[in-house]
Structure 1
Amino acid sequence: MAFGITKTELVAFKEKAQRGEIAFLTHYWYDPRFPQYKTVTKAGCADVEKLVSWGKQYGLKREWIHYREDFPHFDLLGENAKEILIQEGLEDQYYRFH
Protein backbone atom coordinates (compact mmCIF):
# COMPACT_ATOMS: atom_id res chain seq x y z
CA MET A 1 0.00 0.00 0.00
CA ALA A 2 1.33 3.44 -0.97
CA PHE A 3 1.37 6.41 1.40
CA GLY A 4 2.56 10.00 1.08
CA ILE A 5 1.78 10.65 -2.59
CA THR A 6 -1.06 12.43 -4.29
CA LYS A 7 -3.43 10.90 -6.79
CA THR A 8 -2.04 13.32 -9.37
CA GLU A 9 1.49 11.97 -8.82
CA LEU A 10 0.28 8.39 -9.15
CA VAL A 11 -1.63 9.13 -12.36
CA ALA A 12 1.37 10.97 -13.86
CA PHE A 13 3.64 8.02 -13.03
CA LYS A 14 1.28 5.52 -14.62
CA GLU A 15 0.75 7.66 -17.73
CA LYS A 16 4.48 8.08 -18.27
CA ALA A 17 5.09 4.33 -17.80
CA GLN A 18 2.24 3.47 -20.17
CA ARG A 19 3.75 5.77 -22.85
CA GLY A 20 6.83 3.55 -22.81
CA GLU A 21 9.04 5.87 -20.78
CA ILE A 22 10.95 4.85 -17.66
CA ALA A 23 8.91 6.37 -14.82
CA PHE A 24 9.75 6.62 -11.13
CA LEU A 25 7.56 6.91 -8.08
CA THR A 26 8.82 6.84 -4.50
CA HIS A 27 6.38 6.50 -1.63
CA TYR A 28 6.07 5.37 1.95
CA TRP A 29 5.38 1.68 2.09
CA TYR A 30 5.10 -1.22 4.47
CA ASP A 31 5.63 -4.85 3.66
CA PRO A 32 6.09 -7.36 6.49
CA ARG A 33 8.65 -9.22 4.36
CA PHE A 34 10.92 -6.14 4.47
CA PRO A 35 10.34 -4.45 7.84
CA GLN A 36 13.67 -2.61 7.60
CA TYR A 37 12.41 -0.48 4.68
CA LYS A 38 9.93 2.37 5.03
CA THR A 39 9.87 3.43 1.37
CA VAL A 40 9.95 1.88 -2.07
CA THR A 41 10.68 3.36 -5.46
CA LYS A 42 8.87 1.88 -8.41
CA ALA A 43 10.71 2.10 -11.73
CA GLY A 44 8.17 1.20 -14.37
CA CYS A 45 7.69 1.08 -18.12
CA ALA A 46 5.06 -0.59 -20.31
CA ASP A 47 7.83 -1.57 -22.75
CA VAL A 48 9.31 -4.59 -20.95
CA GLU A 49 12.39 -4.79 -23.17
CA LYS A 50 13.16 -1.13 -22.55
CA LEU A 51 12.72 -1.70 -18.80
CA VAL A 52 15.01 -4.75 -18.88
CA SER A 53 17.64 -2.83 -20.85
CA TRP A 54 17.45 0.13 -18.46
CA GLY A 55 17.66 -2.16 -15.43
CA LYS A 56 20.81 -3.92 -16.66
CA GLN A 57 22.90 -0.81 -16.10
CA TYR A 58 22.00 -1.05 -12.40
CA GLY A 59 22.37 -4.81 -12.09
CA LEU A 60 18.61 -5.44 -12.07
CA LYS A 61 17.42 -8.75 -13.45
CA ARG A 62 14.43 -9.43 -15.69
CA GLU A 63 13.04 -11.92 -13.18
CA TRP A 64 12.73 -9.13 -10.59
CA ILE A 65 10.11 -7.31 -12.65
CA HIS A 66 6.62 -7.18 -11.15
CA TYR A 67 3.70 -7.36 -13.59
CA ARG A 68 1.03 -5.84 -11.38
CA GLU A 69 -1.03 -2.68 -11.72
CA ASP A 70 -1.20 -2.89 -15.52
CA PHE A 71 2.46 -2.10 -16.08
CA PRO A 72 5.78 -3.81 -15.42
CA HIS A 73 8.05 -2.31 -12.76
CA PHE A 74 11.02 -2.92 -10.52
CA ASP A 75 10.72 -2.29 -6.79
CA LEU A 76 13.84 -0.47 -5.64
CA LEU A 77 14.69 -0.55 -1.95
CA GLY A 78 17.26 0.96 0.40
CA GLU A 79 20.68 2.00 -0.84
CA ASN A 80 19.89 0.59 -4.27
CA ALA A 81 16.95 2.99 -4.60
CA LYS A 82 19.05 5.91 -3.36
CA GLU A 83 21.89 5.25 -5.80
CA ILE A 84 19.56 4.83 -8.78
CA LEU A 85 17.51 7.93 -7.98
CA ILE A 86 20.66 10.03 -7.64
CA GLN A 87 22.12 8.68 -10.88
CA GLU A 88 18.80 9.38 -12.65
CA GLY A 89 18.80 12.97 -11.36
CA LEU A 90 15.82 12.36 -9.07
CA GLU A 91 17.37 13.17 -5.71
CA ASP A 92 14.21 15.06 -4.80
CA GLN A 93 12.24 11.80 -4.66
CA TYR A 94 14.82 10.27 -2.36
CA TYR A 95 15.13 13.23 -0.01
CA ARG A 96 11.40 13.83 0.13
CA PHE A 97 10.87 10.48 1.83
CA HIS A 98 14.08 10.13 3.87
Structure 2
Amino acid sequence: MAFGISRTQLKAWKDAIDRGEIAFLTHFWLDDRFPEAKSVTKVGCNDLGRLAGWGARYELRKEWIHIRKDGYSHFDLFGNKQREVLEKEGQLSFVPHKFLQ
Protein backbone atom coordinates (compact mmCIF):
# COMPACT_ATOMS: atom_id res chain seq x y z
CA MET A 1 0.00 0.00 0.00
CA ALA A 2 1.39 3.39 -1.00
CA PHE A 3 0.68 6.63 0.80
CA GLY A 4 2.28 9.89 1.82
CA ILE A 5 2.55 11.65 -1.56
CA SER A 6 0.40 14.25 -3.21
CA ARG A 7 -1.18 14.16 -6.64
CA THR A 8 1.17 16.98 -7.60
CA GLN A 9 4.22 14.87 -6.69
CA LEU A 10 2.86 11.88 -8.60
CA LYS A 11 2.11 14.04 -11.65
CA ALA A 12 5.62 15.54 -11.57
CA TRP A 13 7.12 12.03 -11.50
CA LYS A 14 4.96 10.91 -14.43
CA ASP A 15 5.75 14.09 -16.39
CA ALA A 16 9.50 13.50 -15.94
CA ILE A 17 9.09 9.92 -17.15
CA ASP A 18 7.10 11.15 -20.15
CA ARG A 19 10.03 13.45 -21.02
CA GLY A 20 12.38 10.43 -20.99
CA GLU A 21 14.13 11.41 -17.77
CA ILE A 22 15.24 9.13 -14.96
CA ALA A 23 12.64 10.11 -12.34
CA PHE A 24 12.54 9.48 -8.59
CA LEU A 25 9.49 9.20 -6.33
CA THR A 26 9.74 8.16 -2.68
CA HIS A 27 6.72 7.42 -0.53
CA PHE A 28 5.62 5.48 2.51
CA TRP A 29 4.99 1.85 1.67
CA LEU A 30 3.79 -1.21 3.52
CA ASP A 31 4.11 -4.68 2.06
CA ASP A 32 3.95 -7.93 4.03
CA ARG A 33 6.70 -9.38 1.80
CA PHE A 34 9.14 -6.75 3.09
CA PRO A 35 8.16 -6.05 6.71
CA GLU A 36 11.34 -4.07 7.42
CA ALA A 37 10.60 -1.53 4.66
CA LYS A 38 8.72 1.63 5.56
CA SER A 39 9.21 3.40 2.24
CA VAL A 40 10.02 2.74 -1.39
CA THR A 41 11.65 4.82 -4.09
CA LYS A 42 10.34 4.26 -7.58
CA VAL A 43 12.90 5.09 -10.26
CA GLY A 44 11.26 5.23 -13.65
CA CYS A 45 11.88 6.15 -17.27
CA ASN A 46 9.87 5.58 -20.44
CA ASP A 47 13.04 4.46 -22.25
CA LEU A 48 13.54 0.95 -20.88
CA GLY A 49 17.05 0.69 -22.33
CA ARG A 50 18.07 3.87 -20.56
CA LEU A 51 16.43 2.69 -17.33
CA ALA A 52 18.18 -0.69 -17.52
CA GLY A 53 21.52 1.01 -18.18
CA TRP A 54 21.00 3.36 -15.27
CA GLY A 55 20.10 0.43 -13.00
CA ALA A 56 23.19 -1.54 -14.03
CA ARG A 57 25.35 1.12 -12.36
CA TYR A 58 23.76 0.08 -9.07
CA GLU A 59 23.75 -3.67 -9.74
CA LEU A 60 20.02 -3.63 -10.49
CA ARG A 61 19.08 -6.25 -13.05
CA LYS A 62 16.84 -5.28 -15.95
CA GLU A 63 14.60 -8.21 -15.01
CA TRP A 64 13.73 -6.27 -11.84
CA ILE A 65 12.09 -3.45 -13.78
CA HIS A 66 8.37 -3.37 -13.04
CA ILE A 67 7.07 -3.15 -16.62
CA ARG A 68 3.79 -1.26 -16.75
CA LYS A 69 1.46 -1.02 -19.72
CA ASP A 70 0.71 2.61 -18.86
CA GLY A 71 4.33 3.57 -19.62
CA TYR A 72 5.44 4.22 -16.04
CA SER A 73 7.86 1.32 -15.74
CA HIS A 74 10.24 1.55 -12.80
CA PHE A 75 12.61 -0.07 -10.34
CA ASP A 76 11.42 -0.34 -6.73
CA LEU A 77 14.18 0.50 -4.24
CA PHE A 78 14.03 0.12 -0.48
CA GLY A 79 16.32 -0.48 2.46
CA ASN A 80 20.06 -0.04 2.09
CA LYS A 81 19.91 0.03 -1.71
CA GLN A 82 17.34 2.82 -1.59
CA ARG A 83 19.54 4.98 0.64
CA GLU A 84 22.69 4.18 -1.38
CA VAL A 85 21.09 5.16 -4.69
CA LEU A 86 19.41 8.30 -3.36
CA GLU A 87 22.69 9.44 -1.84
CA LYS A 88 24.78 8.76 -4.97
CA GLU A 89 22.16 10.41 -7.20
CA GLY A 90 22.02 13.53 -5.03
CA GLN A 91 18.35 12.87 -4.25
CA LEU A 92 18.60 12.17 -0.53
CA SER A 93 18.01 15.78 0.47
CA PHE A 94 14.69 15.76 -1.43
CA VAL A 95 13.30 12.86 0.62
CA PRO A 96 11.73 13.68 3.98
CA HIS A 97 13.75 12.02 6.75
CA LYS A 98 10.60 10.33 8.07
CA PHE A 99 10.49 8.21 4.88
CA LEU A 100 13.87 6.61 5.53
CA GLN A 101 13.62 5.74 9.24
Which TM-score applies when normalising by structure 1? 0.93
Structure 2 counterpart of 1:72, one-letter code: S
Aligned to 1:37: 37
Q: How far off its partner does 1:95 sit?
A: 2.5
Alpha-carbon distance between aligned partners in 1 of 2:97 and 2:67, rounded to the nearest angstrom: 27
Percent identical among aligned pairs is: 52
Residue range with higher mean Cα deviation, 69-78 or 43-52: 69-78
Alpha-carbon distance between aligned partners in 1 of 2:2 and 2:46, rounded to the nearest angstrom: 20
1:55–1:32 distance in 2 versus 1, CA, 3 Å: same
State the Cα deviation string for residues 28-59 of structure 1 (Å, max 9, x = none). 00111111101000000000000001001000
Which segments of 5 or more consecutive residues in structure 2 lack a partner in the other structure?
Answer: none
Alpha-carbon distance between aligned partners in 1 of 2:96 and 2:46, rounded to the nearest angstrom: 23
4+ long deviations beyond 4 Å: none
Which TM-score applies when normalising by structure 2? 0.90
| 1:21/1:45 contact within 8 Å kept | yes
Alpha-carbon distance between aligned partners in 2 of 1:12 and 1:57, rounded to the nearest angstrom: 24
| 1:45/1:72 contact within 8 Å kept | yes
RMSD, aligned α-carbons = 1.3
Aligned to 1:8: 8
Which segments of 5 or more consecutive residues in structure 1 lack a partner in the other structure?
Answer: none
Instruction: Say whether 1:95 aligns with 2:76.
Output: no
Aligned residues: 98
